Amino acid sequence: MEIANPEQAAAWNGNEGEHWTENADHHDRAARRHWQRFLDAGLISAPDAVLDIGCGTGQSTRDAARIAKQGSVLGVDLSAVMLDRAREQSKAVGLANVSYVQGDAQVYPFDEKAFDIAMSRFGAMFFNDPVQAFTNVGQAVRPGGRLALLAWRELARNEWLMAVREALAVGRELPMPPPDAPTPFALADPERVRAILSAAGYDDVGFEPVDEPIDFGSDADDAFAFVSNIGIVEGLTQDLDDAGRERALDGLRQTVVAHETADGVLFGTSAWLSTARRSA
């Protein structure tokens, strides 16, 4: 398997991928309101051939397959363990128009002009060369075909991560993610995204804000057990000593408790539903 993103491949084939697989239901619950907005946009139709970029454990792939009843859906991801879960789930629900492949979408040799739409649910922000990646994906999309991406807007608009960072800072000044680095916020700036997609062969680029709460769990205990082990928390606490980490996690628990509601533990978020059309 050719890899253009070795750091991402190591993470998703390691602890990050294992955590996502073990907590797939939690991760799907967290983003369910955003994903429903994507589905409600009507971007997929019954005869479509769909490419799902960064499909993870496959909920987005399976939902797309239920819409594209006369078509098919291919999910691609770096993580072998997540794809194993995706295949198991697709088989369990009897979806015959779904397949999965392990690969790096930046360089994977997709069949040319094979898809009507390429999509991603928060899985396309981590390319180290986004122009190359979206060019490669675009070659797999027929002329006039579509691209649709859910991706986070800038960090300052996303309470879910700002609150987590504040809770874990324990007196430290935490660095801000560089805007052009492969992070969750790499596709936050519309002008940067327009430039990337234009260079990669797309036009009619548009952005719809998706400002829905993220749901970390049914109650504070459920949410803390989940959030305290996600990759971002691991990364922000790894340099702390035992006492510092205990203080940081206590702060995180207090933040989680403060966001408990009758509908779950909810934090504010802001994302884009970015769409484009493959140039003829």
Distance CA 75, CA 61 (A): 6
Q: Is the dihedral of CA 218, 15, 91, 114 positive or negative?
A: positive
Could you report the per-residue pLDDT of 126-153, keeping only the tens digit for each?
A: 999 999 999 999 999 999 999 999 999 9
Using DSSP bridges, classify how beta strands 271-278 and 115-121 pair: parallel, antiparallel or unpaired. unpaired
Phi-psi region of 114 (alpha: psi -120 to 50; beta: other; left: phi over 0): alpha
Average pLDDT over residues 61-73: 98
What is the rounded average pLDDT of the residues 43-60? Answer: 98
**pLDDT over 90 at 37, yes or no:** yes
Q: Which two tokens stand for residue 169?
A: 């800072």
Q: Is pLDDT larger for residue 2 or for residue 48?
A: 48
Q: How far is CA 121 from each of CA 67, 68, 238, 264, rounded to the nearest angstrom?
A: 16, 17, 28, 22
With beta carbons less than 8 A apart as the criterion, state whether 208 and 272 touch.
Answer: yes
Place domain 6-156+178-214+271-278 in its CATH homologous superfamily. Answer: Vaccinia Virus protein VP39 (3.40.50.150)
**Mean pLDDT for the stretch of residues 149-168:** 95
| C-alpha closest to that of 211 among 159, 138, 277 | 159
Domain map (residue ranges) of the chain: 6-156+178-214+271-278
**Cα distance between residue 144 and residue 103, in whole Å:** 25
Q: What is the residue-averaged pLDDT of the chain?
A: 94
As a whole number, mean pLDDT of residues 180-192 equals 93
Confidence band of 164 (pLDDT split at 50, 70, 90): very high
142: CB partners within 8 A, 6+ apart:
113, 114, 115, 116, 278
